[in-house]
Structure 1
Amino acid sequence: MAFPEAKPEAMNSSLVHAIGWFDGRFGYNVHTRNFFDNLSKLIPVAASPLFGLDGPWQEDRAVLTALTKLSPRATIALLYGDMMDILDGAPGKRIAYTVWESTEFPAGWLDKLKRADEIWIPTAWGRSVLIDNGVSASQVRIMPEGVDPDVFNPEIEPTNALAAYEGFKFLNVGRFETRKGTELLIKSFDAEFGPDDAVRLVLSCDNHHDPDFDIGRILRGMRLQRPDRIVVIPPVRSHARFAELYRACNAFVSPFRAEGWGLPICEAMACALPVIATDYSGPTEFMDDSAYRVTYKLVPIEDNYYRSAANVGGCWAEPCAQHLRKLMREVYEDREEAAKRGRAGSRQILGNFTWMDAARKAMEVLSS
């Protein structure tokens, strides 16, 4: 457990105890590292990394509890909701910081979230879902995510990994699953663009939850008209490398069914890519008029994997495939307007949704 040197702008000498998954390349990992790293520039942060479900948080808590001068102002757990009993007995204000996608929270999550003093969630949409699920409005605060502007910005040099692929490049980044709308995107792209269109769909998609995941087998099973238009990028191990991938493409597209935040969408906007995304859930927190918003209808969640993994039902969006195709065609045909909107989106993200913006918001809440 390390205590960073307090910065001059720190509001006082108290600290925050942070519990979460700091190591890794997925959403919660990126969120945890960046949020607490920037918060530590404003107030000392004692970090308790979790490795799977284990970590030194119990030992760290014992130290913080025993030494009055180190007693934290707050203990913040950035975790799945069903793990929030980790806050029971924690010193300082007990804050459960979580992310969710469905219109229904699992009962096991709700019971443990309600035991915290405050619940933080990244978006107004997520807050409304919590309230609709019976959580007191006074208990829920909006605490956004963000981007690192030094890594994700329009000046990043693009990767040369795509140099051999000519034509306009749409990009999708994220887990290959029903919730992300990956198959819908691939089929819509294949149906929309004909033999005379110089266009590619670049996929940086895998599914670490499925040990048998084989994207080549999945693509062959779709019987696409033009499978040669699909470019598959192997898993990117360093998160910062995504910026180079964004900058090597011309547009980002994500017909997701539900997102708690939508980090790749936010990062793509920061890198000045025009973004086509479903006009629903988490990304509506940061998508402004620069985004190309796909219409949708709400439908019950019937995906067996999601329902069984989350032990919950609820609803999510069903993006309109025809509107998705129309918007992809619009971006492909009117590239000047698309690039203009991409630049506007970058200004929106870099001006309002950096990790330091999130850290400052957290300090406001912690000081109130």
Structure 2
Amino acid sequence: MKILVLYPYPLEPDGQSLQGHYLVKGLNELGIEAMSCDREDNLQKLYAYKSFQPDFVIGIGYWGNTPELVQSPINHNLNSVPWFNADGWVANYHNVLESLPLLVVTSNWVKQTYIRDGLSGKNIHVCPIGFDPEVFHPVEKNNEQIKKLREMLGVLEHEKMIFTAGGDVTSKGAQEMFKALAKIDKEFPDWKYVLKTYDSFSAEDHGKEEEKLIEELGIDKEKIIYLTGKYSPEFMASLLQACDIYAAPSRLEGFGMIQVEAMACGKPVISINVGGPKDTIIHAKTGFLVDVESEIKLDREWAYDWMGFEEKHQIKFDKPKTFAYKADINQLAHYTLKLMTDDNLREQMGKQASEHALQNFHYKITAKRMLELVEKYGVKR
């Protein structure tokens, strides 16, 4: 069998690019002839279709990528298998996606989002995203490189380091974490919160809100450390290995790749009990899942030409749809304090987290799951 995988390629330090990279790596190690190709470049895709002649084309993205990931291979008489996230809602291409023998999604929550927004779900199956244990793995507490990194970040030896990373960190629950940390700061003041973002409009826009909130909460700004840039998987692994707790009570999370990577590095993860984290984190064993405190619902949303519509317009919903969630602040404070003050619990949960990640999300395991789905459902019977 030959499988062509379409994703942002060559490899970038980006979730979807790594998702594709690990899939191709896993398939090749399973004895499948798998090839990478950029999803946007039509000339490269056409050349791959004709020269490689794949049995299946797996496209990584979300429903908005349907033209380049689904319709493109179908137009060349190839079997298309999208591996999609939802990006909050599904606005278009329902008929195309419904007609496929197989639509793979990254989590059960993503599947429910597609069903909520008009698909039957009969062709939808879940395959989680994998990680590379050669990159993401635990290290000893006294590792000299990690001690040096903590020192460079300004984290003192006796302080607990909390870490959150994302394109912007508000979407990953940073504002909720600020409020939680403000609640417990007097009881346990020895912490630093490291936040890693990309240089983007979203990060800049939310950054202003975050700065204002930190000021309002009276948090010592020296305790908040921002990092910005595109980091390699290897350096991201070092940051995860350097932290004591990974925090991501995300407002919207279709899977949560870095949460899996944090667990793989032996770190307990604090997240939210909705979305992708429900599939990846075992509450009170590999981390803590806090309840939803509130939902952000919309009764209409803008649709744009790049979503496949002729012109920009608003779509009004029959009933309001949830587009984001906010985590319970009191629970966040409780679990954060619990992990910061109990070294044995933190280490035990971290060990359980790394075992859980290795047993369930190793890239070879997720590639095998994808292969099984493709072989069973990928062609109309």
Are residue 135 (structure 1) and residue 119 (structure 2) matched?
Answer: yes
Match of 1:117 among 95, 101, 123: 101
Corresponding residue number in structure 1 for 2:310: none
Contact 2:82-2:103 at 8 Å conserved across structures: yes
Corresponding residue number in structure 1 for 2:263: 269
Contact 1:206-1:215 at 8 Å conserved across structures: no
Corresponding residue number in structure 2 for 1:203: 195
Q: 1:220 to 1:131 in 2, by over 3 A?
A: closer
Structure 2 CA distance for aligned equivalents of residues 281 and 214 of structure 1: 22
Contact 2:102-2:374 at 8 Å conserved across structures: no
Are residue 41 (structure 1) and residue 29 (structure 2) matched?
Answer: yes
Greater CA drift, 125-134 or 226-235 = 125-134
- TM-score normalized with structure 2 length: 0.81
Q: 1:305 to 1:194 in 2, by over 3 A?
A: farther
Aligned-partner residue type, residue 165 of structure 1? V
Match of 1:85 among 61, 67, 89: 67
Q: 1:212 to 1:345 in 2, by over 3 A?
A: closer
Structure 1 CA distance for aligned equivalents of residues 25 and 44 of structure 2: 19
* Cα distance, 1:325 vs structure 2: 0.9
Q: 1:322 to 1:305 in 2, by over 3 A?
A: farther
Q: 1:198 to 1:109 in 2, by over 3 A?
A: farther
What fraction of aligned residue pairs are identical, expressed as a percent? 17
Contact 2:38-2:45 at 8 Å conserved across structures: yes
Are residue 105 (structure 1) and residue 90 (structure 2) matched?
Answer: yes
Question: Deviations along 1:120-157, whole A, 9 cap, x unmatched?
Answer: 10112222222233323331111111211111111375
Q: Could you list the runs of 4 or more consecutive aligned residues of structure 1 that deviate by over 6 angstroms after TM superposition?
A: 303-313
Corresponding residue number in structure 2 for 1:363: 371
Where do 5+ consecutive residues of structure 1 fail to align? 1-13, 65-70
Structure 2 CA distance for aligned equivalents of residues 305 and 27 of structure 1: 25
Question: Deviations along 1:244-283, whole A, 9 cap, x unmatched?
Answer: 1111111111111221110111111111111111111111
- TM-score normalized with structure 1 length: 0.84
Structure 2 CA distance for aligned equivalents of residues 187 and 272 of structure 1: 26
Where do 5+ consecutive residues of structure 2 fail to align? 308-313, 377-381
Structure 2 CA distance for aligned equivalents of residues 184 and 75 of structure 1: 40
Question: Deviations along 1:167-220, whole A, 9 cap, x unmatched?
Answer: 111111112254322222223323421286211111112352448569489526
Contact 1:101-1:281 at 8 Å conserved across structures: no
RMSD (CA atoms): 2.9
Question: Deviations along 1:339-367, whole A, 9 cap, x unmatched?
Answer: 11111111111111111111111221222
Structure 1 CA distance for aligned equivalents of residues 61 and 366 of structure 2: 17
* Cα distance, 1:91 vs structure 2: 3.7
Structure 1 CA distance for aligned equivalents of residues 203 and 176 of structure 2: 22
Aligned-partner residue type, residue 66 of structure 2? M
Match of 1:184 among 173, 176, 193: 176
Structure 2 CA distance for aligned equivalents of residues 257 and 314 of structure 1: 14
Q: 1:26 to 1:319 in 2, by over 3 A?
A: same
Are residue 283 (structure 1) and residue 265 (structure 2) matched?
Answer: no
Match of 1:331 among 323, 329, 339: 339
Structure 2 CA distance for aligned equivalents of residues 307 and 193 of structure 1: 43
Corresponding residue number in structure 1 for 2:155: 165
Q: 1:62 to 1:236 in 2, by over 3 A?
A: closer
SS at match of 1:299: strand
SS at match of 1:367: helix
Corresponding residue number in structure 2 for 1:58: 46
Structure 2 CA distance for aligned equivalents of residues 294 and 272 of structure 1: 20
Number of equivalences: 346
SS at match of 1:40: helix
SS at match of 1:233: strand
* Cα distance, 1:303 vs structure 2: 12
